[in-house]
A and B are shown apart, each in its own frame.
Chain A
């Protein structure tokens, strides 16, 4: 059983389009995250949700909107896609969101904006 799953794995789209990435975890964790990994492999946190509530919102354009319908799901919607949004997006979860927690990562979604 996959612990943290993301769909789709690959996403190729045109500039200006709107797209969503879905994430689900079956670990029973309270906290979920979205990370962006750029072409140089630099990994930066975007958002964190704890029990469906937003607790971290880093400096991210407001074209990015996370939504957590329940604590097992955290989706990422992106409006008006730009070339610079091309990256690999990782979803992760952790038991409680504490600094000691291990983060469990999904396989990533490679977004290419043309």
Chain B
């Protein structure tokens, strides 16, 4: 079965600073990888996803993520954080074949200081 680890429960950055949120996955084959964002009081929204091809994926709101097979990682980055980026970020993995049971990480809460 696949699993996802987000090692950071909280991350605090200053507005305008760069951001990297970590995600490690465990799965035997190449997984489908996702990053979702949850603003306060809202449902989750897809930022970006990866399955194959270029390992650097561009998403909405200026986010990007890089798939590194050797490190089983799919870290999310943004060069300059805005106050409106304060939210909960979830990494998720999907596995092809059989019944699809999406697995989400526990989430990383991003706090942005002015």
> Interface of A with B (CB < 8 Å)?
4, 33, 40-45, 48, 55-56, 58, 90, 92, 97-103, 105-108
Contact = CB atoms under 8 A, between A and B. Distances in A.
21 contacts: A4-B43, A41-B38, A41-B106, A41-B107, A42-B106, A42-B107, A43-B104, A45-B102, A56-B101, A90-B43, A98-B96, A99-B96, A99-B97, A99-B100, A100-B51, A100-B94, A102-B46, A105-B36, A105-B43, A108-B42, A108-B43
Contacts of B95: 99
Contact of A107 (B43, B49, B90, B106): B43
Interface in B13-68: 32, 34, 36, 38, 41-46, 49, 51
A67 to B, nearest CB: 20
Given A56-B101, A99-B96, 8 more contacts: A40-B106, A41-B107, A43-B44, A99-B32, A99-B100, A103-B44, A107-B41, A107-B42
Interface residues of B, number: 26
Interface of B: 32, 34, 36, 38, 41-46, 49, 51, 88, 90, 94-97, 99-102, 104, 106-107, 109
B6 to A, nearest CB: 10
A48 B51 CA distance: 22
A101 B102 CA distance: 10
A22 B105 CA distance: 26
A102 B51 CA distance: 12
Contact of B88 (A4, A41, A90): A41
Contact of B94 (A33, A56, A99, A106): A99
Contact of A45 (B41, B45, B101, B106): B101
B45 A105 contact: yes
